[in-house]
């Protein structure tokens, strides 16, 4: 139920909500904007109408515009964003102390606002408690060991032999002793599950850094779960119909960086059309 409502005392009849609706289902009816009859099912839940209305005259899905954060005066400036992006580092050394559950929930609630194909609602599977983290870490490594012993490593995965040797000697190359793992998945009918996951984790990475947390993209764990230990998806309680897009380690960093990197060798191809 869209529950599209107009506060007629606030509405200026500017038509911005009509112009900006991506699927064109809003029109004047007759004096104030409304959903075109029979078009409710075409709504993609983007909330563009809700956010573009400057006086806050539109409510949809039971949402109150007064409870949204105003953008004016609250957005970071270009220099602040530049520092955040340039200052981001992959963290491979973590404190043992876990991140509190409320902070994790808040980060994921914010990240869920990122763009996805079809406005798909991603599934964020997060390992919070350390006992579960230990079991997942041990289970992944034993799964790799079994694949090696039984000669069932997929072609191109032979390097996991060295990773297992390091594990047996006290080095955790895959999980880096991180206290948490975030796994992003989406239903298999979504047209771009992997890009959606990467976008979500990119948002998560920058947001986590802004509150003092560190992250690492965990390709090795994703590779192991997808190619070597497929039963791990069931153990993680991820629906079988979901595609795992990517994984990310995170936690409180035990290292500190004091300045941004300097990478100015950007490759830019400015296209000029030629026949």
Contact 104, 180 (CB under 8 A): yes
Query: Domain extents for the chain?
Result: 5-67, 81-251
Nearest CA to 224 among 213, 211, 235, 239? 235
Topology of domain 5-67, CATH:
Alpha-Beta Plaits (3.30.70)
pTM: 0.90
Distance set, CA 232 to CA 136, 139, 141, 186, 203 (Å): 8, 8, 11, 16, 26
Confidence of residue 264 (pLDDT cuts 50, 70, 90): confident
Classify domain 81-251 by CATH number.
3.40.109.10
Distance set, CA 202 to CA 85, 109, 111, 212, 263 (Å): 10, 14, 9, 16, 19
CA distance linking residue 174 with residue 142, whole number of Å: 13
- The 10s digit of each residue's pLDDT in 62-89 is 999 999 999 999 999 999 999 999 999 9
- The 10s digit of each residue's pLDDT in 125-173 is 999 999 999 999 999 999 999 999 999 999 999 999 999 999 999 999 9
């Amino acid at each position: 139920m869209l529950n599209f409502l107009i506060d007629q005392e606030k509405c200026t009849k500017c038509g911005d909500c009509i112009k900006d609706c991506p699927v064109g289902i809003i029109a004047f009816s007759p004096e104030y904007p409304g959903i075109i009859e029979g078009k409710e099912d075409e709504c993609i839940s983007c909330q563009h109408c809700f956010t573009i209305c400057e006086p806050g005259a539109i409510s949809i899905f039971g949402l109150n515009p007064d409870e949204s954060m105003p953008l004016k005066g609250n957005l970071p400036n270009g220099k602040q964003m530049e520092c955040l992006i340039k200052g981001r580092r992959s963290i491979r050394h973590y404190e043992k102390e876990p991140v509190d559950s409320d902070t994790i929930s808040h980060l994921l609630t914010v990240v869920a606002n990122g763009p996805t194909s079809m406005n798909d609602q991603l599934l964020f599977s997060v390992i919070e408690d350390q006992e579960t983290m230990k079991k997942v870490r041990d289970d992944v490594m034993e799964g790799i060991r079994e694949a090696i012993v039984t000669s069932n490593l997929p072609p191109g995965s032979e390097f996991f032999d060295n990773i297992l040797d390091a594990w047996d000697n006290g080095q955790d190359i895959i999980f880096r002793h991180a206290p948490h793992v975030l796994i992003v998945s989406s239903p298999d009918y979504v047209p771009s599950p992997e890009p959606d996951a990467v976008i979500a984790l990119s948002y998560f990475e920058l947001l986590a850094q802004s509150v003092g947390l560190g992250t690492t993209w965990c390709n090795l764990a994703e590779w192991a779960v997808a190619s070597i230990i497929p039963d791990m998806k069931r153990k993680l309680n991820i629906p079988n119909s979901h595609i795992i897009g990517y994984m990310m380690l995170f936690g409180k960093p035990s290292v500190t960086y004091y300045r941004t990197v300097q990478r100015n060798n950007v490759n830019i191809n400015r296209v000029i059309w030629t026949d």
